[in-house]
A and B are shown apart, each in its own frame.
Chain A
Amino acid sequence: MQLSENFRIAVSTLGVHKVRSLLTVLGTVIGVMSVVTIVSIIEGMNEYVSERLVAEGSNTFYVDKFGMITDYEEYLEALKREDFTPEDARAVERLSPSVLAAGAVSETQKTVRYRAKSVSGVNVQGVDEKYRFVESGEAVGVESGREISREDVLRRKAICVIGQDVKDKLFTGVDPIGKEIRAGRHRFRIVGVGERKGSLLGMSQDSYVTVPISAFRKAYGTRNPVYLVVKARDQASYDLAQDETRAVLRARRKVPFSEPDDFSIMGAETFMELYRSFTSTAYLVTVGIAAISLIVGGIVIMNIMLVSVTERTREIGIRKAIGARRGEIMVQFLIESLILSGTGGLIGVLLGVAIALFVSGVSPLPAAIRAWAILMGLAVACGVGTFFGIYPAARAAKLDPIVALRYE
Chain B
Amino acid sequence: MDNLIELRGVTKVYQVGAEEVHALNGIDLDLTSNEYLAIMGPSGSGKSTLMNLIGCLDTPTSGSYRFKDQEVKDLSDDELARIRNKEIGFVFQTFNLLPRADASHNVELPLIYAGVSRAERRTKVDAALKAVGLEDRTRHRPSELSGGQRQRAAIARALVNEPSVILADEPTGNLDSKTGEEIMQAMEKIHRAGNAIVLVTHEEYIAKHARRIIRLRDGLIEADELV
Report how many residues on chain A are interfacial, defined by Cβ distance under 8 Å. Answer: 23
**Across the interface, which residues of B come within 8 angstroms of A401, CB to CB?**
57
Q: Is the CB of A1 within 8 A of B112?
A: yes
In the complex, what's the smallest C-beta–C-beta distance from B162 to chain A, in angstroms? Answer: 13
Nearest-CB residue, chain B, relative to A404: B57
**In the assembled complex, A281 has its CB within 8 A of some CB on chain B:** no
In the complex, what's the smallest C-beta–C-beta distance from A48 to chain B, in angstroms? Answer: 53
In the complex, what's the smallest C-beta–C-beta distance from A405 to chain B, in angstroms? Answer: 7
In the complex, what's the smallest C-beta–C-beta distance from A26 to chain B, in angstroms? Answer: 25
**In the assembled complex, A322 has its CB within 8 A of some CB on chain B:** yes
Q: Is the CB of B98 within 8 A of A318?
A: yes
**In the assembled complex, A272 has its CB within 8 A of some CB on chain B:** no
Which 9 residue pairs are nearest across A and B when measured between Cβ atoms? Answer: A323-B85, A323-B113, A325-B81, A322-B110, A325-B78, A323-B84, A401-B57, A318-B96, A402-B57
**Across the interface, which residues of A come within 8 angstroms of B17, CB to CB?**
none
- Cα distance A320–B77 when bound, in Å? 10
- Cα distance A318–B112 when bound, in Å? 14
Partner of A322, one of B58, B78, B85, B100: B85
**Across the interface, which residues of B come within 8 angstroms of A323, CB to CB?**
81-82, 84-86, 110, 113-114, 161
**Across the interface, which residues of A come within 8 angstroms of B81, CB to CB?**
320, 323-326
Report how many residues on chain B are interfacial, defined by Cβ distance under 8 Å. Answer: 25
- Cα distance A16–B98 when bound, in Å? 14
Question: 1/0 per residue A1-44: CB within 8 Å of B?
Answer: 11001000000110010000000000000000000000000000
The 20 listed contacts between A and B (C-beta, < 8 Å) are A1-B113, A1-B115, A2-B112, A5-B112, A12-B100, A16-B100, A318-B98, A320-B81, A321-B84, A321-B90, A321-B96, A322-B84, A322-B90, A323-B82, A323-B161, A324-B85, A325-B82, A402-B57, A405-B92, A405-B96
**In the assembled complex, A315 has its CB within 8 A of some CB on chain B:** yes
- Cα distance A317–B92 when bound, in Å? 12
Partner of B100, one of A13, A326, A327, A328: A13
Partner of A402, one of B58, B86, B97: B58
**In the assembled complex, B190 has its CB within 8 A of some CB on chain A:** no
**In the assembled complex, A319 has its CB within 8 A of some CB on chain B:** yes
- Cα distance A105–B85 when bound, in Å? 87
In the complex, what's the smallest C-beta–C-beta distance from B142 to chain A, in angstroms? Answer: 11
Nearest-CB residue, chain B, relative to A326: B77
Given contacts A321-B84, A325-B77, 9 further A-B contacts (CB under 8 A): A2-B115, A322-B84, A322-B85, A323-B84, A325-B113, A326-B77, A401-B57, A405-B92, A405-B96
> Is the contact region of chain B dominated by helix, strand, or loop, or is it mixed?
helix
Nearest-CB residue, chain A, relative to B160: A322
**Across the interface, which residues of B come within 8 angstroms of A327, CB to CB?**
78
Q: B85-129: which residues lie under 8 A (CB-CB) from chain A?
A: 85-86, 90, 92, 96-98, 100, 109-110, 112-115
In the complex, what's the smallest C-beta–C-beta distance from B198 to chain A, in angstroms? Answer: 15
**Across the interface, which residues of A come within 8 angstroms of B109, CB to CB?**
319, 322
In the complex, what's the smallest C-beta–C-beta distance from A232 to chain B, in angstroms? Answer: 72
Nearest-CB residue, chain A, relative to B86: A323
- Cα distance A405–B51 when bound, in Å? 14
**Across the interface, which residues of A come within 8 angstroms of B161, CB to CB?**
323
Q: Is the CB of B52 within 8 A of A322?
A: no
Name, among A315, A326, A401, A405, the residue most crowded by chain B CB atoms within 10 Å (CB to CB). A401
Q: B31-88: which residues lie under 8 A (CB-CB) from chain A?
A: 52, 55, 57-58, 77-78, 81-82, 84-86
Q: Is the CB of B77 within 8 A of A328?
A: no
- Cα distance A238–B225 when bound, in Å? 107
Partner of A321, one of B57, B86, B114: B57
- Cα distance A326–B114 when bound, in Å? 14
**Across the interface, which residues of A come within 8 angstroms of B78, CB to CB?**
325-327
- Cα distance A12–B112 when bound, in Å? 16
Q: A298-346: which residues lie under 8 A (CB-CB) from chain B?
A: 314-315, 317-328
In the complex, what's the smallest C-beta–C-beta distance from A54 to chain B, in angstroms? Answer: 58
**Across the interface, which residues of A come within 8 angstroms of B55, CB to CB?**
321
- Cα distance A325–B75 when bound, in Å? 13
Partner of A315, one of B58, B85, B98: B98
In the complex, what's the smallest C-beta–C-beta distance from A400 to chain B, in angstroms? Answer: 8
- Cα distance A401–B157 when bound, in Å? 18
Nearest-CB residue, chain A, relative to B114: A323
Nearest-CB residue, chain B, relative to A16: B100
- Cα distance A328–B77 when bound, in Å? 12
